[in-house]
């Protein structure tokens, strides 16, 4: 495949600073698969039903994560993600979502919101496209 046609053909640097900007504020949905639910429940040492009842709500064919009234993700506490090692694929693939990389103008907007962009590891165009394809949104 020829990646030269993409504005990110030379790759993009990104390293999450866990600033929380993308997990707080405006409400949103975070798709969580049954497999991810099991991993999060194991990580929190609670059973899956308790996790679903207290932290999730039905969304599409699975679940999404509840938010506080101010829109913050229920798992974002004390300035960090409390389930970071087992966070859902939607979180793992941010900011490399199709809707963010659809064109350079949109990406410039995302760059302003996410301080991790431009720092750290250089993701190649192929790695970015792999992440886009893994993201549920």
Residues within the interface to ligand SF4 (CB under 6 A): 16-22, 94-95, 114-116
Task: Give the residue from 91, 103, 99, 106 showing the smallest Cα distance to 21.
Answer: 91
Tokens linked to 74: 């229920």
**Pick 11 or 20: Cβ nearer ligand SF4:** 20
Beta bridge mates, 30 = none
**Pick 17 or 82: Cβ nearer ligand SF4:** 17
Least distance in angstroms from the C-beta of 119 to ligand SF4: 8
**Pick 63 or 94: Cβ nearer ligand SF4:** 94
Least distance in angstroms from the C-beta of 35 to ligand SF4: 22
DSSP string computed for 11-64: -EEE------GGGSSS----EE-HHHHHHHHHHHTS-HHHHHHHHEEEETTEEE
Least distance in angstroms from the C-beta of 115 to ligand SF4: 5
Q: What are phi and psi of 33, to 5 degrees?
A: -85, 165
Least distance in angstroms from the C-beta of 47 to ligand SF4: 29
Which H/E stretch holds residue 77?
strand 76-77
**Pick 27 or 115: Cβ nearer ligand SF4:** 115
């Amino acid at each position: 495949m020829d990646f030269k046609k993409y504005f990110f053909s030379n790759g993009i640097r990104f390293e999450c600073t866990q600033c929380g900007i993308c997990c707080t504020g405006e409400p949103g949905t975070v798709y969580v698969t049954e497999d991810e639910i099991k991993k999060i429940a194991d990580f929190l040492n609670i059973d899956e039903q308790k996790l679903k009842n207290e932290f999730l709500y039905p969304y599409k064919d699975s679940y999404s994560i509840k938010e506080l009234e101010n829109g913050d993700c229920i798992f974002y506490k004390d300035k960090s993600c409390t389930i970071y090692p087992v966070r859902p694929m939607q979180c793992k693939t941010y900011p490399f979502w199709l809707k963010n990389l659809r064109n350079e103008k949109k990406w410039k907007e995302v760059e302003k919101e996410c301080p991790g962009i431009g720092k750290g590891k250089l993701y190649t165009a192929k790695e970015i496209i792999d992440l886009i394809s893994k993201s549920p949104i």
